[in-house]
Structure 1
Amino acid sequence: MGNGVQDSGNPLGELPRRYWHMSQKYDRPQRTDDFGIDLTADVHRWENWIVKLTFEKQGNVKHGNGFYVNVPNATNDVVLTAAHNLVDGPQHYCSNIKIIHDRYKEKKNTEEEEEKEGEDIEVTPDMLRVCTRYFDEPNEDNAIYDYGAILLKRDRLKRIRGFGFHIMLGLVPPRGLDVKSPGDDDKDVMHDKAVNVSGYRPEDSPPQELPKRSEGRCVRAGDSQLQYNAQTVQGMSGGPVWVGYRGKETVVAIHNYGAAKDGEGNQGTRLNLKVWRTIFDWVGVGWYGKSLHYRGSKTYSMHLYLPPNLPPTSSLNRNEDEGRVRVGKPGQIDSLFDIFPVAMVPGCKEKDAYYGFILKSADAKRSGPTAKNTSPTWARWDPSKNKVTPTKHFDARCEVNIPQVIIQPGKPFEIQARDGKDFKQVKMSMELLDKEDLELLGDDPTSYEDTSEISFVPVKKNKAPTSASASEVPQ
Structure 2
Amino acid sequence: MSSALNHLTHALTCRAMAPANDGEGYHTITTSGPNLTQYLTTNDGESGLEESVAYDVRANTPAVYLVLNDVRMVFYLDAGNQLAFSSYEDDEWEEGEWHGLSQPVVVHPETQLSGLINEDQIWVLYQTPAGQLAAVVKHTGQWSLAGTIAADMAPRAPHMAMADGADPNHLHVFFFTNRHEICHTQGSLTTGDWRGSIVHGAHFDGPISRFLVIPTEDQRRFTVYAATVASKLMMISHEGPLTELGVIKGGRFVPPTRAESTFIINISFLSSGKWLFFGRETDERGGEKTMGDDLAAWMLPPELYHDDYIEGPRVNMDLGSKKVDPTRWYRFLVYLKMHKNDKSGNPGEYHGTGFFLSLPGARHEDKDVKVVLTAGHNLVGANGTMATAIQVASPDLGRSWLVGQEMAMVCPEYNTTIDKEGSPNDWGIVFISEFDTRDTKFKQLGFAFNLSLAVQPPFKVSSSVPGPELGGFRSSINGTPERVYSTLTGFHQFPQKISYKKGGTEPGMSGSPVWISCNNLLTVVGIHTTGSSMSKSRCQGVRLNLDILERIFAWTHTSQRGRLRAHEAPQFDREGLYLSFSRPGGIARVRLGSVGLETTFKVLPAGDIQVNLGPRGHKNPRGFLVATLPTDLEEKQRYLKMGSTYICEDDACYGPVESSEVSLVLHTTKNGNRFRLEPVEDDEKQT
TM-score normalised to structure 2 length? 0.40
Distance (whole Å) between structure 2 residues aligned to residue 95 and residue 79 of structure 1? 16
Question: Do structure 1's residue 283 and structure 2's residue 547 form an aligned pair?
Answer: no
Paired AA for residue 80 in structure 1: L
- Cα offset, 1:217, TM superposition: 2.7
Match of 1:77 in 2: 370
Q: CA contact under 8 A between 1:381 and 1:388: conserved in structure 2? A: yes
Read off the aligned partner of 1:339 and give its amino acid letter.
Answer: V
CA distance in 2, matches of 1:156, 1:471: 33
The 2-side partners of 1:335 and 1:398 are apart by 24
Q: Encode CA deviations 1:17-65: one digit per residue, 9 max, x unaligned.
A: 99x99567xxxxxx7x6112545x7552111010001122333322110
User: Contact conserved, 2:360 with 2:444, CA < 8 A, in 1?
Assistant: no
Give the direction of change, closer, same or farther, for the CA distance of 1:247–1:92 in structure 2 (3 Å limit). same
For residues 477 and 591 of structure 2, the distance between their equivalents in structure 1, rounded to whole angstroms, comes to 55
1:45 is aligned to 2:266: no
The structure carrying a bigger strand percent of its residues is: 2
The Cα shift of 1:306 comes to 2.2
CA positional deviation for 1:243 = 0.5
Specify the alignment match of 1:96 in structure 2. Answer: 389
Which of 430, 454, 460 is matched with 2:668 structurally? 430
Check if 1:306 corresponds to 2:570. Answer: no
CA 1:383/1:189 → structure 2, altered by over 3 Å: closer, same or farther?
farther
Q: Deviations over 1:231-273 (max 9, x none)?
A: 3212111110000111110000000111599975111100011
Q: AA paired with 1:77?
A: K
Q: How is 1:106-185 mapped onto 2 (pairs within 5 angstroms)?
A: 118-141=398-421, 143-153=423-433, 154-158=435-439, 159-173=443-457
1:454 lines up with 2:672 in the alignment: no
Which residue is 1:272 aligned to?
545
Residues 1:340 and 2:604 aligned together = yes
**For each residue in 1:306-328, what CA deviation from the matched residue of structure 2 results, as whole angstroms up to 9, or x when unmatched?**
245869xxx979xxx4489x9x9
Q: Secondary structure at the match of 1:200?
A: strand
CA distance in 2: counterparts of 1:203 and 1:21, whole angstroms: 50
CA offsets, 1:286-331, max 9 Å, x none?
123522799xxxxxxxxx95245869xxx979xxx4489x9x9xx6
Q: Provide closer, same or farther for how the CA distance between residues 215 and 16 of structure 1 changes in structure 2, counting only shifts above 3 A.
A: same
Q: Name the CA shift for 1:256/1:473 in 2 (closer, same or farther; >3 Å).
A: farther
What's the secondary structure of 2:361's corresponding residue? coil
Larger Rg over CA atoms: 2
Q: 1:223 aligns with which of 495, 505, 510?
A: 495
1:88 is paired with a residue whose SS is coil
Which residue in 2 is equivalent to 1:213? Answer: 485
Change (3 A) 1:427 1:137: closer
How far apart, in 2, do the equivalents of 1:283 and 1:133 lie? 19
Partner of 2:610: 353
Counterpart of 2:420, as a letter, is E
Could you list the per-position Cα deviations for residues 316-366 of structure 1 after superposition, in whole angstroms to 9, with x for gaps in the alignment?
Answer: 79xxx4489x9x9xx62444312212x31xxx4xxx334579xxxxxxxxx
Counterparts of 2:385 and 2:404, CA distance in 1 = 13
Match of 2:340 among 57, 62, 67: 57
Where in structure 2 are the equivalents of 1:287-436 lying within 5 Å? 287-291=560-564, 305-308=577-580, 321-322=589-590, 332-341=596-605, 343-344=606-607, 348=608, 352-354=609-611, 388=642, 399=653, 429-430=667-668
Question: Conserved in 2, the CA contact under 8 Å of 1:22 and 1:396?
Answer: no
User: Aligned partners of 2:628, 2:490: CA distance in 1, in Å?
Assistant: 35
Letter in 2 for 1:188: F
- After TM superposition, give the deviation of residue 71 of structure 1 in Å: 1.8
- Displacement, 1:15? 5.9
Share of identical aligned residues, percent? 22
Specify the SS of the correspondent of 1:223: coil
Whether the aligned pair in 2 keeps the contact of 1:293 and 1:473 (CA below 8 Å) is no
Task: Determine if contact 2:579/2:591 at 8 Å carries over to the other structure.
Answer: yes
The answer to whether the 8 A contact 1:170-1:271 is kept is: yes
Q: Which amino acid aligns with 2:352?
A: G
Alignment partners' CA distance in 1, 2:438 and 2:627: 34
Deviations 1:100-148 (A, max 9, x none): 24665xxxxxxxxxxxxx2321121000010111135522346211000
> In 2, Cα distance between the equivalents of 1:189 and 1:292?
41
Query: Distance in 2 between the 1:220 and 1:205 partners?
Result: 36
Of 182, 188, 191 in structure 1, the residue corresponding to residue 459 of structure 2 is 188
- Write the distance in 2 (CA, Å) between the matches of 1:145 and 1:356: 30
User: Is the Cα contact below 8 Å between 1:381 and 1:387 reproduced in 2?
Assistant: no
Q: Using CA pairs below 8 Å that are at least 6 residues apart, which structure has the higher relative contact order? A: 1
Any idea what SS the aligned residue of 2:445 has? Answer: coil
Paired with 2:473 and 2:552, the residues of 1 have a C-alpha distance of: 24
Per-residue CA distance 1:416-452 (angstroms, 9 max, x = gap)? xxxxxxxxxx9962359xxxxxxxxxxxxxxxxxx95
With over 3 angstroms needed to count, the CA separation of the structure-2 counterparts of 1:356 and 1:200, relative to structure 1, is farther
Deviation at 1:74, TM superposition (A): 1.2
* In structure 2, distance between residues paired with 1:229 and 1:36: 17
**Structure 1 unmatched ranges of 5 or more:** 1-13, 25-30, 105-117, 174-186, 295-303, 358-378, 402-425, 433-450, 456-469
Q: Secondary structure at the match of 2:468?
A: strand
**Change over 3 Å in CA distance of 1:335–1:100 after alignment to 2:** closer
Distance verdict in 2 for CA 1:316–1:119, change over 3 Å: closer
The DSSP-based 3-state class of the residue aligned with 1:61 is strand
1: distance between equivalents of 2:628 and 2:650?
Answer: 13
Distance 1:281 1:17, change over 3 A: same
* SS of residue in 2 equivalent to 1:285: coil
The residue correspondences of 1:436-475 to structure 2 (distance < 5 A) are: 452-454=673-675, 472=679, 474=681, 475=685
Give how far 1:383 is off.
9.1
Indicate the structure with greater helix content. Answer: 1
CA RMSD between the two structures: 4.7
Distance 1:472 1:209, change over 3 A: same
Q: How many residues align?
A: 323
Q: Distance in 2 between matches of 1:356 and 1:15?
A: 30
Change (3 A) 1:260 1:138: farther
